């Protein structure tokens, strides 16, 4: 991946924010059905409605040529998309892109970790909400903890420079595992971020207001054992990081409810159907699939559509766990 010259930043919105980070959902499908992300019975999109790998590459190339420096591949589970290794290798070779990363549930990493690393991926996020096999199965509905633990080992063995765990903490479900998850990360020198559950999509498993657990509560639980010192460095993402005196592990908090991070938002998302989504908490979007399919190979039109889209990036999102979800998209469509 080039650390060399960058393209000038041309994606600047009405509030002066530069967009240099894009999350691309490469599939809506997944081998898990996490209770906060999906309903038990999901209908996935027909193939024709999903961007092809070539179309994803065109969109990614246009974005990088407009100044995007970091791309995260996500989903659904990105590793269940056939051809993902080839896509990673192609995007990993894009001049001007500093970082190609992925968020994965880890279940397929024993198979793919080496090829992702060879394709130029240096960092990976792996979701892990529980270390107890039965509870893990309950939260993911179809997942097996031992497979994910093997995936984490495979990522370590493949030599990723940084591996970060992501845990969505829910009251009454897994908030009693916060310290165990921190210990797990410390023992393996991994980073870990704790995520507040977001009201995306109508789910059947629980009322989100009941399970909501704020980052401040999680922070307080950890601080009782380890004093947390705010980290000075920033990453391109929404995590707010802390360090412990005796470990390389960084602890992050992603707090869409309690600490709104909109004022420094530098990112957009491309959904699995090729909609450019300007904000996770709003419906403002532009249909890029229409542009790539109507004008095949015309990167000028595609880039103009991306530049024009900056005009409709909303200033902020509002989430309220006590109301009916205003956002009916599920996270797997959006690319979490
Ligand atoms: N399947 C991959 C995984 O689970 O890591 C990537 C996609 S998943 C949608 C990305 C991240 O979003 C995961 O860490 C998951 O825990 C988180 N997530 C999903 N639904 C969420 C929700 N409603 N609120 C907060 N985080 C959510
Ligand atoms: Fe699949 Fe990730 Fe959603 Fe869980 S959070 S159902 S692993 S996409």
Which pLDDT does position 205 carry in this prediction? 78
**Dihedral (CA of 91, 93, 97, 99) sign:** positive
CA 143 to ligand 2: nearest atom: 7
For ligand 2, mutation pick of 24, 30, 80, 329 (most atoms within 8 Å of CB): 30
Among 282, 279, 280, 285, which Cα is nearest to 309's? 285
Fold of 21-334: TIM Barrel (3.20.20)
| 235 CA from centroid of ligand 1 (Å) | 19
CA 38 to ligand 2: nearest atom: 6
| 86 CA from centroid of ligand 2 (Å) | 22
**Dihedral (CA of 266, 202, 283, 274) sign:** positive
30 lines ligand 1 (CB under 6 A): yes
Instruction: Provide the residue-wise pLDDT of the chain in tens; the chain has 336 residues.
Output: 655 678 999 999 999 999 999 999 999 999 999 999 998 889 999 999 999 999 999 999 999 999 999 999 999 999 999 999 999 999 999 999 999 999 999 999 999 999 999 999 999 999 999 999 999 999 999 999 999 999 999 999 999 999 999 999 999 999 999 999 999 999 999 999 999 998 776 777 778 788 889 999 999 999 999 999 999 876 666 788 999 999 999 999 988 776 667 888 889 999 999 999 998 777 788 999 999 999 999 999 999 999 999 998 888 876 555 554 455 555 666 555
Which pLDDT does position 233 carry in this prediction? 74
Which pLDDT does position 315 carry in this prediction? 84
CA 331 to ligand 2: nearest atom: 3
Ligand at minimal distance from the CA of 329 is 1
Domain ranges of the chain: 21-334
Which pLDDT does position 320 carry in this prediction? 56
Cross-strand partners of 229: 243
CA 31 to ligand 2: nearest atom: 1
- Other beta carbons within 10 angstroms of residue 31's beta carbon come to 16
Which pLDDT does position 206 carry in this prediction? 77
Specify the residue for token string 């920033």.
234
30 lines ligand 2 (CB under 6 A): yes
297: left (phi over 0), alpha (psi -120 to 50) or beta: left
Specify the residue for token string 């999906």.
38
35 lines ligand 2 (CB under 6 A): no
Measured CA to CA, the distance from residue 27 to residue 327 in angstroms comes to: 19
For ligand 2, mutation pick of 35, 130, 140 (most atoms within 8 Å of CB): 140
| 330 CA from centroid of ligand 1 (Å) | 10
- Residue pair 270/261 in contact (Cβ under 8 Å)? The answer is no
Residue 214 CA, distance from chain mean position: 19
25 lines ligand 1 (CB under 6 A): no
Which pLDDT does position 108 carry in this prediction? 98
Order across the sheet with 70-74: list the strands: 229-230, 240-243, 250-254, 191-195, 162-168, 123-127, 99-104, 70-74, 21-25, 267-270, 275-277, 285-287
Q: Could you tell me the pTM of the whole model?
A: 0.92
CA 75 to ligand 2: nearest atom: 8
Residues belonging to the chain? 336
Which pLDDT does position 4 carry in this prediction? 65
Which pLDDT does position 336 carry in this prediction? 55
Would you state the structure tokens that stand for residue 97, as one six-digit string?
């892109």
28 lines ligand 1 (CB under 6 A): no
């Amino acid at each position: 991946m080039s650390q060399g010259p960058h393209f000038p930043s041309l994606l600047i919105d009405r509030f002066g924010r530069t967009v240099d980070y894009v999350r691309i959902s490469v599939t809506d499908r997944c081998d898990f059905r996490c209770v906060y992300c999906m309903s038990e019975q999901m209908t996935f999109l027909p193939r024709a409605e999903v961007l092809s790998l070539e179309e994803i590459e065109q969109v990614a190339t246009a974005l990088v040529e407009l100044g995007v420096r970091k791309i995260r591949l996500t989903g659904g589970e990105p590793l269940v998309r056939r051809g993902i290794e080839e896509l990673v290798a192609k995007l990993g070779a894009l001049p001007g892109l500093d970082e190609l990363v992925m968020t994965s549930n880890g279940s397929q990493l024993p198979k793919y970790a080496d090829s992702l690393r060879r394709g130029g991926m240096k960092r990976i996020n792996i979701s892990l909400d529980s270390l107890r096999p039965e509870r893990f199965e309950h939260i993911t509905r179809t997942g097996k903890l031992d497979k994910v633990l093997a995936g984490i080992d495979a990522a370590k063995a493949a030599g990723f420079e940084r591996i970060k765990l992501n845990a969505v903490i829910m009251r009454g479900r897994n908030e009693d595992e916060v310290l165990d998850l921190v210990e797990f990360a410390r023992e393996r020198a991994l980073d870990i971020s704790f995520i507040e559950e977001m009201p995306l999509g109508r789910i059947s498993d629980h009322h989100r207001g009941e399970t909501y657990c704020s980052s401040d509560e999680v922070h307080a639980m950890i601080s009782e054992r380890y004093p947390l010192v705010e980290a000075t460095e920033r990453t391109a993402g929404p995590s707010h990081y802390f360090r412990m005196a005796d470990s390389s592990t960084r602890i992050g908090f992603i707090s869409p409810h309690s600490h709104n991070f909109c004022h420094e938002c530098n990112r957009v998302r491309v959904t699995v159907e090729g909609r450019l989504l300007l904000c996770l908490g709003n419906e403002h979007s532009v249909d890029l699939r229409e542009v790539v399919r109507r004008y095949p190979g015309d990167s000028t039109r595609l880039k103009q559509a991306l530049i024009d889209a900056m005009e409709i990036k909303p200033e902020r999102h509002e989430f309220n766990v006590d109301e009916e979800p205003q956002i009916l998209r599920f996270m797997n469509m959006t690319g979490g």
